[in-house]
Amino acid sequence: MQGYRRDIDGLRAIAVGSVVLFHAGVSSLSGGFTGVDIFFVISGFLITGLLVEEAAAKGRISIGNFYARRVRRLFPALVLMLVAVTLASIWLLPADGTRQDFAKSALAAMGFVANFFYMFQPSGYFAPEAEVYPLLHTWTLAVEEQFYLVWPLLIWGIMWLAKRWGLGVNRLYIGVFCATLLVSFGLAQWVIHWRAPVGFYFMPLRAWEFALGALIAVVPLARLRGRWTRLLTPLGLAAMLVGFFAIDGNRPFPDFWALLPVLGAGAVIWGGMVDGDGWGSRVLATAPMTYLGKLSYGLYLWHWPLLALVRGHYLGQAPPVAIWGAVAVAIALASLSYHIVETPIRQQKWGWVRGQARSLAAGAAALALVMAGAMGTWQGAKLALAASPQLQAIRAGRDGNLPNWPAPCANYQAHFVGLAPVERCIIGNRADVRPLLLVGDSHAYHLLGMFDAWGRARSKGVLPRTRGGCRPIDGPANVIGRLWSADLSSDCAAYLTAVRAEAAQLARARAVSGIVLAARWPRIAQPTSLMGLGGGAVTARDAGWEDWARASAAWRLPLTIIVDTPQFAHNVPECLGRRDAAQCDISRAEAERQQGDMLAALARLRARHPQVQILSLIDGYCDRARCPAVRDNIVLWRDNNHLSLAGSRDLAVRLRARLDTLGQAR
């Protein structure tokens, strides 16, 4: 371990710069989020180096002093940011559940369990919905703090074992860190394909990144010198740069591609040891780079809440001037925080943080302060919600789940292992021996309220076979483009194969009266990113409809294809919490424009296959001029394209005559 290294501050600058640019929406930097992985390698190197040096010099590790240093380093900027953002949330966030969720996230952030909090949120890190979570970025701090809790104890344990067994402590360090790296990386490759959020957020599955930095701190790499070592820093910089542009959020992460930023960061740190005068290290050590590196922690803390609040204010459509204005303010706040708050406390210039006991006491007091503020914010929001029918309607609008319907029937976000039994999944009239078979993705799932209410009123059963993000068509377009990955597409294909086989079996047994398809169909009048892998998804859609039409004809079953719901430019409940209701509607003309190519393609399909019926829901949720966001104090939409449960049930009444024709041969 060496003294202060300017090049490592330069490496921090690269890490935070990539993250900020990615979060600001620089689309070409699709892997900019991997700057976090670079931070993890740096932390592993620095923390391990400090602990090992202390152990070698004193023969022991002062755990209390270690945590006191962490408090002085991490808490000042974090507490300042949390207090400021909590106050802003009371002013800017509606109490329809949004402010309550923020308060919960603030508690999780200060308890350093934010990674677990976001692991179980319905929207993943890369989903557009996550862009308005003001404290989403605190998951990385939780991972680091959990590492800090474990790592000193691990090093203490290694020292104890080395003394007890008479082993060389450095060799034992290397062995344990190597084992940690290999086991953690191997488990991560398995878990990300089983439960991607767990692989992304769970500290033990990120431990290999810290362990690589730790290995560089204990392996005597400085002794290895030669012409080839001059290439370490340039190669490391190149690897990180490739990762910034080649990696994206469409694949489970951290996969093998994560080796680019992690090994790249390791190579830069190693290169600075053996060739600190090389051009790469000199660039990293320049004054602008080192200064940005010193601000990196504060900039990381401030940039995301500002961007999230700005995006929330503009309902996800923030203009560039607002985005880059937020980034500029974040840099300014990071600079002020560094000079006025962080540095004096870290250097113990103020008496109330001088020494181990006072630092730990100050940290505990800060924890209590922020948690009390978060609890007060939560309780205040609950009281405001209880007093406002409008806020209650908005909160209810976010609900899209049918009560008491078994989760296995939804096949949602899990490796497909088989269809749940038919009798468990029927809605409406559960005793119907010839139910309708409903097949599709989340745009079939959000119709369960309609089908359940209609089925109960008409003594008709519906068997839903739905899987979120999985369209009932073949090929790469089966998974919506923004979510696409090879694993999801493979799982979707397996699910669809099982559904087709079950449909054939039920048709032969005369145990189903008709088939209904509903999905977020690819369409021309929407962003290409939602269509699938390019514009060919529309062709795949038409081919999928043709396959189902031929199969239904062979099975002698009527087939109904539901025209997809319109897509709003904004999240409807969020809009209603911040705008007048009329500003949250879209025109009927816009809804019909979005559906135009689907209706034309379905008309051609019906001309070839008379048993095909077309059901457009537009008369159910639109009047002559508008498609409203709210009607009779019922919020009809859960986000920008899914119906709420109440909105879905409302369609059962408005479309009863059309629904009564489903499953009837023509």
Q: What is the pLDDT of residues 624-660, one digit of tens each?
A: 899 999 999 899 999 999 999 999 999 999 999 999 9
Which pLDDT does position 2 carry in this prediction?
Answer: 61
Read off the pLDDT band of 56 (50, 70, 90). confident
- Residue predicted with more confidence, 26 or 524: 26
Which pLDDT does position 500 carry in this prediction?
Answer: 96
Q: Where along the chain do the CATH 3.40.50 domains lie?
A: 398-567+593-626+649-659
% of residues, the chain, pLDDT over 70? 95
Q: Residue 26 above 90 pLDDT?
A: yes
Choose the weakest-confidence range: 264-268, 463-467, 538-542.
538-542
Read off the pLDDT band of 240 (50, 70, 90). very high
What is the DSSP secondary structure assignment for residue 338, as one 8-state letter? I
Average confidence (pLDDT) over 216-243: 86
Q: Measure the CA–CA gap between 470 and 504, rounded to whole angstroms.
A: 20
- CB atoms < 10 A from the CB of 215, how many? 22
Q: Residue 664 above 90 pLDDT?
A: no
Strands 559-563 and 514-518: parallel
**pLDDT, tens digit (0-9, with 9 covering 90-100), for 449-481:** 999 999 999 999 999 999 998 999 988 888 886
Please give the structure tokens belonging to residue 365. Answer: 């007091």
Q: Residue 529 above 70 pLDDT?
A: no
Structural contact between residues 156 and 179, judged by C-beta atoms closer than 8 angstroms? no
Q: Residue 412 above 80 pLDDT?
A: no
% of residues, the chain, pLDDT over 90? 73
Which pLDDT does position 188 carry in this prediction?
Answer: 95
Read off the pLDDT band of 252 (50, 70, 90). confident
What is the pLDDT of the chain when averaged over all its residues?
A: 91
Query: What angle, 0 to 180 degrees and rounded to 10, lies between the N-to-C axes of helices 207-218 and 138-165?
Result: 50
Average confidence (pLDDT) over 428-446: 95
CA 595 to chain centre: 29
Choose the weakest-confidence range: 27-31, 122-126, 283-287, 400-404.
122-126
- Name 478's Cβ contacts closer than 8 Å, sequence gap at least 6: 470, 471, 472, 489, 492, 493, 496, 532, 540
Structural contact between residues 465 and 505, judged by C-beta atoms closer than 8 angstroms? no
Q: Residue 523 above 80 pLDDT?
A: yes
Q: Residue 328 above 80 pLDDT?
A: yes
Read off the pLDDT band of 325 (50, 70, 90). very high
Structural contact between residues 224 and 274, judged by C-beta atoms closer than 8 angstroms? yes
Q: Three-state DSSP class for 120? A: coil
Which pLDDT does position 532 carry in this prediction?
Answer: 52
Structural contact between residues 463 and 422, judged by C-beta atoms closer than 8 angstroms? yes
**pLDDT, tens digit (0-9, with 9 covering 90-100), for 182-211:** 999 999 999 988 888 899 999 999 999 999
Which pLDDT does position 385 carry in this prediction?
Answer: 94
Q: Residue 276 above 90 pLDDT?
A: no
Which pLDDT does position 255 carry in this prediction?
Answer: 92
Is the four-CA dihedral 321, 323, 327, 330 of positive or negative sign? positive
Q: What is the CATH number of domain 398-567+593-626+649-659?
A: 3.40.50
